[in-house]
Structure 1
Amino acid sequence: MKFIEETRVVSEGELQINNITPYHVTKFYREQIAKNGYYDQLKRIVEPSVEEFESPGTLDTSGEHDNTVVPGLQHKYPQTGLLLVTERCGSYCRYCFRKRIVGKTSDEIAPDFAQVAQYIAHHPEMTNVLISGGDPLMLSTAKLDKILDHLLPINHLSSIRFGTKMLAYEPRRFEDSALPALFERIQKSGKTPIIVTHFDHVGEISSDAEQKVRTLRAQGVQFLNQAVLLAKVNDDPEILAETFAKCHEIGVRPYYLFQARPVKGASHFQVALRRGIEIARGINQRLSGIEKTFKYIMSHYTGKIEILDLGDDGRVYMRYHQNKVSEKIGRIFSRPHVEAACWLDDLQGNEI
C-alpha cells in the first residue's frame, strides 16, 4: 500500500485492526489538488499516512451510539435529528470521525425511514433534520426523494440539511437535472433546504464548485460551511481566513471550525488547543465583520463546546454552544490549561 511517507506491505488484518480506511479519491479531486499549488497540504486529506497506525483514540468520540434513538437516527440535541443514510463517500477523508462506518457495511445506517419518521413525528421539539452518513449525495436523487417522502409531511420540521463534501470531491453530482426539483419540493412543503458544505481549505473550492453553489443559491438553497482544523493541512490563520472569505464571497456562510477529534487512526490531525486558539484569533483579525461568522467548536461527548480563549490566568475558557441539558447551553466555564492538550479530556483540574 502506498503511504505518503513510503510504500509498505500490509495485510488486510493489519489494516482492520488499526482502522485504516481504504484509499479512495475521485479523479476530479486528484486533479484539483495537483494543479492548485496546495498539493503538499491537501494530499493529507485523502492519501494514507503511516501515522495512522500510531494514532490513539476511540471510534465514537461524540457518543453517537448513546444518542441513537432508532436505527440510523440520533437525537442528541432537542431541536436536531441526525439521520445516517449511507456509509459511502465520494472520497475517504483520512481524518474522518466515522471511520467505524465509512467504507464498510454498517448497521448504523437507517434501514427503515418510516420508523425514523414515526419517532420524529412524536417529538415536536425537533425542528430540523441533518441528513448525513457517509455522504448523502452519494445516493441517487430518486433515493433522496424517497427519504423526503417520510420527512416532508412532518409539520414541525422547518428545515432539511444535507451534509456533503461532494462539492469538493465531485461537483458534477450537482449537474443532475433532478436535483432542482428535489430542493423545490422541500421549499413547497414549507421547509428550508440547506446544504452544509465541507471545504477545509481554499484549494478545495474549485470554479466548478463555485458555479454549482451560485446556481443552487439562485434556486433558494441556503449554504453553510463546516471545516476541520487539521495539522499540516490548514493550521494557518492566513489559509483559513482565505477559505472563509472565499466561502462568504460565493454565498456559503462559514459555520463551524471543528477541533479535530481524538479518533483512533486519525488523532495525528489534532492541533493543540493553544495553537487552535491562536489560529482562530488570527482568522478573525483577517476577516471583516460580515465574514467572521464561524465558531471554533469541539464536538465533545457532552455537547458542542465553543472554544473561546486562553486567559492570562492560565485557564481555557469555553462555552456550551449545544448540550443535552438545556440549562447548560450558553454557560461559560474554564479548566486549567495543559500544554499540548488537544481535547477537553486532556484538561485535567478544577472546572469553574
Structure 2
Amino acid sequence: MKTAQPTQGNAVDASQLGAAPPTSSGRRPASEIINFIEGTRTVSPDELAAHSITRYRVTRSYREQIINSGYYDQLKFIVEPSFEEFESPGNLDTSGEHDNTVVSGFQHKYAQTGLLLATDRCASYCRYCFRKRIVGKDSDEIAADLGEIESYIGVHPEMTNVLVSGGDPFVLRTGRLHQILDHLLPFPHLNSIRFGTKMLAYAPKRFEDPALLALFQRIHDARKAAVIVTHFDHIGEISVDAERSIRSLCTRGVQFLNQTVLLAKVNDDPETLAATFAKCHQMGIRPYYLFQGRPVKGASHFQVPLRRGLNIVRGIDQRLSGIQKTFKYIMSHYTGKIEILDLGADGRVYMRYHQNKDPEKIGKIFSRAYVEGGCWLDDLPEGSD
C-alpha cells in the first residue's frame, strides 16, 4: 500500500467527505474526487452512503500533532479515509444500542449505568467509529427531552452513574453541559457522572476554558465523582496541551480513565500500547479498557484476530509494572461486556462477562472453540460453550 504524505487541505476547514459544495446551479455534484490514503477516487454520495463511509473531518491541532509525533504512518489511519472502507462488512449497531434505548437519547443496558447521548457531532471523525450511524448526521438518537430522561432516572434507584457520551459532549457549549447536569445532580443514588471524550486528543485547548472548572466543581459540590474517560489510542496522540490540562484537572479532583481500541496498523503491537498506558498512568489517568475492534460496517478492517490480541495483551503485561496494569481486554458485545482472558492449550478462548444485563452471568467464565482469524464472539462456533 502506498504511504500517503501529509498534504494541505486536510484540516477541519477543508472539503469533507460527503459534503461537497454545491455547483453553480445550486445542486450537489453527482460524484466527487476524494483523497484517500491510497490515492484519489471518484465516488458518488450514494456510494459513500452504501458503504457507511463517514465524511472526513479532523482538527488542525490533531493533524499537526500526528505529523509532528513521529507516528504519522500509524496515526493517519485513525482519521484519514481508506479504500479498505469500501470492503469492510459488518453492521452499524454491534452492541445492541437500539434495543437498550429506554428514552430517546438514553440507554440503560446494565443496571448501574445510564448512557446519555448528548450530541451527534465530534471534533474529528474516527474512521473506526462504532457509532457511524449517528456521528456527523442529524440523528434522532440524541437526547432531546432531558426532563424525560430525568423522570426515567428518578424511578431507577439501582442506577449509580451516568455516562455522558455522543458524539463528543465537549463539542457542546459549556452552558449545554450545565443544563445536562441540572437533570442529573439532584439524584442521591447517582454517585458519579462520567464524560466520554476524545477531545483531549483532538482539541485539548477546549479544556483550558475556565467555565469548565465550574462544571466539575458543581459535580464535586453535589458529592459525586466527576470522571473524564479519555480516548487515547496511541502515545503519539498525547500532546503537551493535553497533558497540561489533565494534570491541572487532576489537582481539582477530576478523575481520569482511559479507553483504547485495538486497531490494526495503528497500535497493534505491545510496545506501543505499553508506552501509551505507561504515559497515561504517569499523567494521572488509569488505563481502563482495551477494546477489541468491533465488526462495524466500513470499519471492520481495523479488527485484530483474537489470538493476536491476546499475544499483544501478554506483551503489554510483560512491559508494565503492577500498578500500571489496570486495564481489561474487553469485547463490547451485544450480550454484554466480555473480558477476553486467554486462548488455552485446548484451542478454546476463555472469557467472562464483565457486565451483563443478567447479574447472574457477571463473572461467569465460559469458552468457545477458537477459529483461526476469528475477531469477535460471533466468529466462534455457537454451542461450544
Normalised-by-shorter TM-score class: over 0.9
Q: 1:171: which partner in 2?
A: 204
SS of structure 1 residue aligned to 2:243? helix
TM-score under structure 2 normalisation? Answer: 0.91
Q: Is the Cα contact below 8 Å between 1:320 and 1:331 reproduced in 2?
A: yes
1:65 aligned to 69, 90, 98, which one? 98
Structure showing greater Rg: 2
Question: Is the counterpart of residue 8 in structure 1 residue 33 in structure 2?
Answer: no
SS of structure 2 residue aligned to 1:7? strand
SS of structure 2 residue aligned to 1:268? helix
Question: Is the counterpart of residue 79 in structure 1 residue 133 in structure 2?
Answer: no
Q: 1:16, CA displacement in angstroms?
A: 1.0
AA partner of residue 326 (structure 1): P
Question: Is the counterpart of residue 253 in structure 1 residue 253 in structure 2?
Answer: no
1:34 aligned to 67, 72, 83, which one? 67
Which structure is richer in relative contact order (CA contacts within 8 A, separation 6 or more)?
1
Q: 1:351, CA displacement in angstroms?
A: 3.1
Deviation readout 1:300-338 (Å, 9 max, x if unpaired): 000000000000000000010000000000000000010
Q: Is the Cα contact below 8 Å between 1:132 and 1:164 reproduced in 2?
A: yes
Q: 2:123: which partner in 1?
A: 90
Q: Percent identity?
A: 73
Structure 1 gap ranges (5+): none
Q: 1:349, CA displacement in angstroms?
A: 4.4
Q: 2:362: which partner in 1?
A: 329
Distance 2:294 2:95 in 1: 9
Question: Is the counterpart of residue 184 in structure 1 residue 188 in structure 2?
Answer: no
Distance 1:36 1:187 in 2: 35
Q: Is the Cα contact below 8 Å between 1:55 and 1:264 reproduced in 2?
A: yes
AA partner of residue 310 (structure 2): I
Distance 1:350 1:301 in 2: 17
TM-score under structure 1 normalisation? Answer: 0.99
Superposed CA RMSD: 0.6
SS of structure 2 residue aligned to 1:2? strand
1:134 aligned to 153, 160, 167, which one? 167
Distance 1:103 1:138 in 2: 12
SS of structure 2 residue aligned to 1:151? coil
SS of structure 2 residue aligned to 1:9? strand
Distance 1:37 1:217 in 2: 28
Distance 1:19 1:287 in 2: 38
Deviation readout 1:46-93 (Å, 9 max, x if unpaired): 000010011000000000000000000000000000000100001000
SS of structure 2 residue aligned to 1:23? coil
AA partner of residue 215 (structure 2): L
AA partner of residue 110 (structure 1): A
AA partner of residue 176 (structure 1): D
Distance 2:140 2:207 in 1: 28
SS of structure 1 residue aligned to 2:43? coil
Question: Is the counterpart of residue 276 in structure 1 residue 313 in structure 2?
Answer: no
Q: What does residue range 101-116 of structure 1 map to in structure 2 within 5 Å?
A: 101-116=134-149
Distance 1:134 1:110 in 2: 11
